[in-house]
A and B are shown apart, each in its own frame.
Chain A
Amino acid sequence: MSKTFPRGGVHPPENKISADAVIEQLQLAEQVIIPIAQHIGAPASPVVNKGDAVKAGQIIATSQGFVSANIHSSVSGKVNKVDKVLDSTGYKQTCIVIDVEGDEWVENVDLSPEIKKEFDFSGEEIIKKCSDMGIVGMGGATFPSHVKLSLPPGKKCNVLIINGVECEPYLTSDHRLMLERGEEILIGTTILMKALGVDRAMVGIENNKPDAISHMTLLASEFKGIEVHGLKVKYPQGCEKQLIKALINREVPSGGLPMDVGTVVHNVGTAFAVYEAVQKNKPLIERVVTITGKDIPRPVNLKVRIGTPLTKLVEAAGGLPEQTGKIVNGGPMMGKAVGSLDIPVTKGISGLVLINEAEAKRNVTGPCIRCAKCISACPMGLEPYLLMTLTEKGFKEKAESERIMDCMECGSCSYICPANRPLLDYIRLGKWFTGKIIRERMHK
């Protein structure tokens, strides 16, 4: 009997149309745009200027403070400019624009294809390696990994969880990575286990990827302490709180972190990046991105260099379909719709879903019929219909006591509402109001 999280969740159609597309290396673009803020925390500070020659793997912006990350060049060439350019946030952010010349790498990076299994680093050395190499969470959250691995005094971890769930419809980059680079992912897992000082790791994979489950299970038999678990398909199982509940039956307390219940969660892509960083001295400068959608001529999973404009990826997938109504960075449940394809691939972009106009159009909103489907769908045990009404009518303190800040914006409520009420839109607004009240209270 496969496990899953007990409360809430919805079942959007899986649409994993790119699941069989083998990862292809996209050829280099002529110019890359590398933002200095691709992670949670303080943006990095540029250490190159216009006209500088750079090599692939060279550090071009340094981390500012503990919760920050280094940025490395993904190509070799010359810095065109350091300027504000439109990126995936929808705003113009400071980016380092590089004109690509050849593909020369910095010296200590090991580009050989051999898989290195043994390593001899201490936990602290591993954490420093992750920090030096700019490793951030590859599931989309882009949280700096060295911060996640540095447990504060008093917090202990007894199991590492590796997230191979990929619960969003359409996205398949993690699936392909597990099928094609499974061994490296598991080596990365053992490296992370060393960094955290745990001897047990659990890899969670949803049952709609049976080939990945059997492949990873077979590989994991060669590794001590790593278990592979198949999970019943339910969105949002990939959200770490739900995954932790599903795998080890512990609930992260409200306002708390996974380390409060003795675990840390890392995406399979992050584990892979950690392997490359520690075993190959390779900084985080490329990732797998899925380009998919019902009307896309050729759904693909592309390995691309950070900074490549998304137009290049869509071209490789056969071009933008005529009737595209929405382009979503990420999955259709939690992704962010973008207004232009002239924006670069960053560390957090796992896929692009192209939705046609007919499906992109929202249906007409009706009155709340109090069917309580939003309550059944909410994985956090909240009452979305109430949070929307409280926000609409301005009851900001009541929203806080109704735990509006626990909402992780998974979108299950808006998805399931039969009256097509924009529940999540209002909850986001309510969280902003309540967040302001909380910050004001903390300042007093």
Chain B
Amino acid sequence: MNNLLRVSLSPHEQSKESTSKLMFGVVIALLPALLASVWFFGRAAILVTAVSVASCVVFEYLIQRFLIKREPSIRDGSAVVTGILLAFCLPVNLPVWLIVLGAFVAIGIGKLTFGGLGSNPFNPALVGRVFLFLSFPVQMTTWPVPKGFATKYADAVTGATPLSILNENYDKVAIDQLMTDSQAGLPGHMQAFWGEMGGSLGEIAAFALVIGLIFMLIRKIITWHIPVSILGTVLLFTGILWLANPSDNADPLYHLLTGGLLLGAIFMATDYVTSPMSSRGMIIYGVGIGILTVLIRRFGAYPEGVQFAILIMNAFTPLINSYVKPARFGEEVNRG
């Protein structure tokens, strides 16, 4: 026997898990929401998603190859995930050039300037989204009304999202009456659950997002800590507000089902790179996002606060990682 023997150190086995498998697992988890968005918004949904994903992947390749001059890492699938998530928080009639610009900012600034995968402090898809939101507020707050496959991309009829209607009417009109007023344009709870409402591509279909959550939990792509702590905190605080003043607030379940909360809690806040590492840290992070979301929604100028809440808590992640450590074995000696 002539071949040399390897003498590298233990462990001599590796699990079959890989970065790209995890990323493509997230893509699979996003498919129900993608299908739902096509159901409600038609072919435009495919167009927006495809443009976003293609732009993210192409920009990552070009910048890495020609600017940074290193081996492009598009095969790990993270640019694809960013592309889908960016598309999911855009209005389905956003002009193509804005989608491409958003992808450039998300990948180029949100991810690659910091060193690429693993080094970015902020969620890249949200960086791209917030850039578009602040720089092009009109286009980014014009929401097409879903009309299924009949929805036209270019000349879509637009309408308000549930949260924007609520936001306009806080402290002016009795909210509980608004919710039952069929003229007001607020979808009911069941419509919000299934996705029959205005909003961005990926945020409307609550049930599709929850399917994705269950899939990721089973595949052990994420743990329950972040989604549960965000949603639990939002339920708690909107519940307190609603019980204190039912005529001036929507009920907690409505808050859960509307806006980008589910999309953010399940897919954005759970981004590995920008969220804390320890379980206790994740809960602190989730509670922070929940509180900020409720504050911005109810008391702030913007109808939806999830995007800002997540980016703000992303900034706290390194601090949380420094101070919140996992429980060490043997620290509190357990004398049985």
Contacts and interface: CB of A to CB of B under 8 A. Distances in A.
Contacts of A363: 14, 18
Nearest to A335: B10
A325 B3 contact: yes
Interface string B308-336: 00000000000000000111111111111
Interface in B115-139: 116-119
A251 B329 CA distance: 7
A248 B336 contact: yes
B333 A251 contact: yes
Interface bracket on B: 35 or more
A86 interface: no
B118 A326 contact: no
A396 B160 CA distance: 57
A418 B18 contact: yes
Nearest to A336: B10
A248 B326 CA distance: 22
B46 interface: no
A357 B3 contact: yes
Interface in B239-283: 272-273, 275, 277-278
Interface residues of A, number: 74
B6 interface: yes
A359 B12 CA distance: 9
A403 B10 contact: no
A370 B272 contact: yes
Contacts of A249: 334, 336
Interface in B77-121: 78, 116-119
A371 B12 contact: no
Contact of B11 (A322, A332, A367, A406): A332
B10 A333 contact: yes
A33 interface: no
B211 to A, nearest CB: 22
Contacts of B117: 366-367, 369
B19 A419 contact: yes
Nearest to A325: B6
B15 interface: yes
B8 A337 contact: yes
B1 interface: yes
A327 B5 contact: yes
A406 to B, nearest CB: 7
A326 B329 contact: no
B336 A414 contact: no
Interface in A372-398: 372-373, 375-376, 378-383, 385
Given A251-B330, A366-B19, A420 B7 contact: no
Contacts of A186: none
B329 A424 contact: no
Given A369-B118, A383-B325, A334 B11 contact: yes
A414 B333 contact: no
A44 B297 CA distance: 75
Contacts of A253: 330-331, 333
A339 B334 CA distance: 43
A126 to B, nearest CB: 27
B141 to A, nearest CB: 33
B21 interface: yes
A323 B1 CA distance: 9
Interface string A79-121: 0000000000010000000000000000000000000000000
Interface string B22-56: 10000000000000000000000000000000000
Contact of A326 (B12, B278, B326, B327): B12
Interface of B: 1, 3, 5-15, 17-19, 21-22, 73, 76, 78, 116-119, 223, 272-273, 275, 277-278, 325-336
Interface of A: 7, 10, 12, 90, 169, 241, 245, 248-254, 256, 260-261, 320, 322-328, 332-340, 353, 355, 357, 359-363, 366-373, 375-376, 378-383, 385, 403, 406, 409, 411-412, 414-420, 424-425, 428
12 contacts: A10-B15, A248-B336, A251-B331, A332-B10, A333-B12, A369-B273, A371-B22, A372-B277, A383-B325, A416-B17, A417-B14, A428-B9
